[in-house]
Amino acid sequence: MFSLGSRKFQFVINPMAGGGRAGRVWRLMRSEAARFFGPLREAYTASPGDATLLARDALLNGSDGIVCVGGDGTLNEVVNGFMDGGEPLRAGALLAYFPCGTGCDFVRTLRQSKDILQALKGVSPLGTKTIDLGRMVCRDRRGKPMSRYFHNITSFGLGGEVNNRVNRSRKRLGGFPSFLLATGVSLLLYRRKRIRLRVDDSFDGEVTSWNVAVANGQFHGGGMWVAPDARIDDGLLHVTVVGDFKLPEILFQMPRLYNGKIYGHRKILNLKGRRIEATSGETVLIDMDGEQPGRLPLSIDIVPRCISVLVSGETA
């Protein structure tokens, strides 16, 4: 059984995550959090990138772990604060995540409750899971090279378009309806892209694709089960290529995105590897952990077992 002991945790809170839901929920959970974690050390984000800086500063100044309160995008920023030059910034530091954003897909892979108060009250048994990260190099929105880590899924194609549309909305409908509406609109407007894809030395070719998902976790887009075989600690990236479907076909096959049977169609490729490269002569947007950081070209490699995550319930 794992014990928090006298460990010092820094809370990094994005009050605007989930259209402001995170801020409202945090006010309700503060006393329960203090009972469980001890004296609260709180830091609030105000703009993109703040969570990375706050997490990094806390770890450099003696915090034993970071508790992220927000969505998958906030968690992605915190994860980037843990890393420095391909290595953890502070060995042994713990990451805890209480999800209250739009999608909150990562906890589906962890099999952890999305109800924050329930997660706090039900952290028994309590344990840790050391997870892999993906490391991506791509072009940012201004066309300049950038490098970021991701904990869940990076996709490119339709996923980038959907994410861009969701993040421009006010997300008042909540997670799943917001993603479903954005997916429907994007399907009608999107045109399949021709992408040159390489996965290790096992696959190197051009694909006409709606979307390519490079997965560490299993779910993205508010519950789409795009990589049912993915494991967050197996040292591999799982690649799902949704191929050259016509629009009526893709609409008919949509249930496969949610029922775990996505690999049962001949136009969907299932690949695995430690390094992925993708280029295109067209503009192809990227979705990384619920954010839209840039566009192709990109390269992704796996950084195995580099962050310890505090988990509860059947995952522990």
pLDDT tens readout for residues 94-115? 999 988 877 788 988 987 766 6
Mean pLDDT, rounded, for 118-128 = 64
pLDDT(201) > 90: yes
pLDDT at 11 (0 to 100): 97
pLDDT at 222 (0 to 100): 78
Least confident residue range of 2-16, 131-145, 263-277: 2-16
Choice between 68 and 175, residue whose per-residue pLDDT is larger = 68
Work out the percent of the chain whose per-residue pLDDT is above 90: 62
Q: In the numeric block, which tokens belong to residue 52?
A: 């990375």
Amino acid at 108: R
Choice between 243 and 166, residue whose per-residue pLDDT is larger = 243
Closest-CA residue to 71 (of 62, 59, 63, 79): 79
How many whole angstroms separate alpha carbon 203 and alpha carbon 136? 19
β-pair type (294-312, 94-99):
parallel
pLDDT at 250 (0 to 100): 85
Mean pLDDT, rounded, for 175-189 = 72
The 3-state secondary structure of 25-94 reads: HHHHHHHHHHHHHCCCCEEECCCCCHHHHHHHHHHHCCCCEEEEEECHHHHHHHHHHHEECCEECCCCCE
pLDDT(15) > 80: yes
pLDDT at 164 (0 to 100): 78
pLDDT(117) > 80: no
For residue 51, count CB atoms less than 10 angstroms from its CB and return exposed for 0-12, middle for 13-18, buried for 19 or more. buried
User: Over the chain, what is the mean pLDDT?
Assistant: 89
Closest-CA residue to 220 (of 76, 66, 42, 6): 76
Binned at pLDDT 50, 70 and 90, residue 307 comes out as: very high
Domain 134-305 indexed as CATH 2.102.10.10? no
Mean pLDDT, rounded, for 184-188 = 77
Q: In the numeric block, which tokens belong to residue 301?
A: 């490699």
Mean pLDDT, rounded, for 78-101 = 93
pLDDT(173) > 60: no
pLDDT(187) > 80: no
Name the residue ranges covered by the structural domains of the chain.
Answer: 9-132+306-315, 134-305
pLDDT at 171 (0 to 100): 55
Work out the percent of the chain whose per-residue pLDDT is above 70: 89
Domain 9-132+306-315 indexed as CATH 3.40.50.10330? yes
pLDDT(182) > 80: no
pLDDT at 168 (0 to 100): 67
Binned at pLDDT 50, 70 and 90, residue 223 comes out as: confident
